[in-house]
Each structure stands twice: as structure tokens, then as C-alpha cells.
Amino acid sequence: MHADLALRMMASLLWTGLTICLPLLAVIMAVGLAISLLQVVTQVQEMSLTFVPKLVATGIVLIALGPWMLRQLTSYSAQLWASIPSLF
């Protein structure tokens, strides 16, 4: 295996991971920011107030985008398996 091939495979892996995780992380960050602003305005410092909305938002995003994430992972895995004979 050549170094450029390994670098391309690593870049493809990282890009696929980023595209799969980015929507989930963006929603969690937005919910966290909104809850933090709510806590600052109301001065309510309850720990469950930050945890429960993030958990609910994570579940909703996974239900909504789960099939797309699975298709991306399946496509990447199939591409990786199909490229194995050309590596040798």
C-alpha cells in the first residue's frame, strides 16, 4: 500500500465520519446554546434542564436522519470492500 493511497483512504474515512456526525452535533450544540440562554435569562440552574432536552433532540435527529446516516455508512463500506482487490 502506497502512502498516497493510505492518505486518500484516511481522508475519505474522516470526511464520511464528519458528514455523518455533523447534523447530530449541530442540533445538540444549538439545543445546548438555547438552554444555556434560557438558564441565564431565568437564572434556573437545574442540571436535568440541560440533559433532557439534548437527549430528546438527539433521539429526534436519530429517528429523522438515521436512515440517511445508515445509507452513507453502507455506501462507504461497500466502496471500501469493492476497492480491496485493487489494493494488491
Is pLDDT above 70 for 72? yes
At residue 85, the pLDDT reads 86
- DSSP-derived 3-state class of residue 16: helix
Q: What percent of the chain lies above the pLDDT cut of 70?
A: 99
User: Average of pLDDT values for 29-39?
Assistant: 93
